[in-house]
Chain A
Amino acid sequence: MENYIKIEFPSKSCNEAFARAAAGAFASQLDITVEELADIKTAVSEAITNAIVHGYAGIRGVVEMQCRISGRTIEITVIDKGRGIADIALAMQPLYSGSDDEERSGMGFTVMQSFMDTLHVESQVGVGTTVTMTKKVGAIFDD
């Protein structure tokens, strides 16, 4: 199957729930298990939260989400044009938080990495961040 969606929305926290629900609904076109669907929604929630909390940290911007189905693989791309990440390797370390809020757990990238098959982060300070992640689903439905 080949299909895609592209949506954009302002960087408001209330759109986190919308974005993960939209990604989940789109992924549901595939034969997919309940657990795989939950994994995708959780990973999307982390990527969108990062874009809103870190990318646009206190300022309003636009978050774009693209979801693409290619065969049995779903690819999700989350793009912000916010402040960017200076040190991607550091930001991706478990428990590292780029926020002053001491109750951000610093687990966002770890969740994305664990719940998806691949995770790729591109970022430039002052330009923005693009997070791309993929997951092959539905192997359980084979034969």
Chain B
Amino acid sequence: MEMRLEYLGSTLVAKLDGELDQSCAAEIRERIDNEINLHGITNLVMDFNNVSFMDSSGIGVLIGRYKQIKARGGKMLVIRTQPQVDKVIELAGLKRIMDFD
């Protein structure tokens, strides 16, 4: 999985590309967390437009980042999820907790 990071003031936009599973989950979360700490990020947008697959490893990534951002008083937004990704997110009940487009 590839990830491109962009900044809009104190908002970090993480654009994911590929398949999000256990093989890349740790790297993704470490990179985002580093950016959050390094750049004083308060808000996080995770763009799933190019994510063709996600399993429950991705749920862990989303919940973990949500907790970080919330602890900083910021907002997290998950956008442009494909149907397969959406179904996993729905099952995990994340739609009741986080913001989606």
Contacts and interface: CB of A to CB of B under 8 A. Distances in A.
Interface of A: 13-14, 16-17, 20, 34-35, 38-39, 41-42, 45-46, 49, 52-53, 102-108, 110-111, 114-115
Given A42-B55, A46-B55, 19 more contacts: A13-B22, A13-B23, A17-B19, A39-B87, A41-B53, A42-B53, A42-B84, A49-B22, A49-B56, A103-B25, A105-B57, A105-B92, A107-B59, A107-B91, A108-B56, A110-B91, A111-B55, A111-B56, A111-B88
Interface string B62-84: 01100000000000000000011
Interface SS of chain A: helix
A39 B91 CA distance: 12
A122 B61 CA distance: 29
Q: From B19, B57, B91, name the one whose CB has the most chain A CB atoms within 10 angstroms.
A: B57
A17 B21 CA distance: 8
A108 B25 CA distance: 15
24 contacts: A13-B21, A13-B22, A17-B19, A34-B83, A35-B83, A39-B87, A42-B87, A45-B21, A45-B55, A46-B56, A49-B21, A53-B22, A102-B64, A103-B60, A103-B61, A103-B64, A105-B59, A106-B56, A107-B59, A110-B56, A110-B91, A111-B55, A111-B91, A115-B87
Going nearest first, the 8 A-B pairs with the smallest beta carbon separation are: A13-B23, A103-B60, A107-B56, A105-B59, A45-B55, A38-B84, A105-B60, A49-B22
Contacts of B59: 105, 107
A80 B22 CA distance: 17
A49 B61 CA distance: 15
Interface SS of chain B: helix
Q: From B56, B57, B61, B63, name the one whose CB has the most chain A CB atoms within 10 angstroms.
A: B56
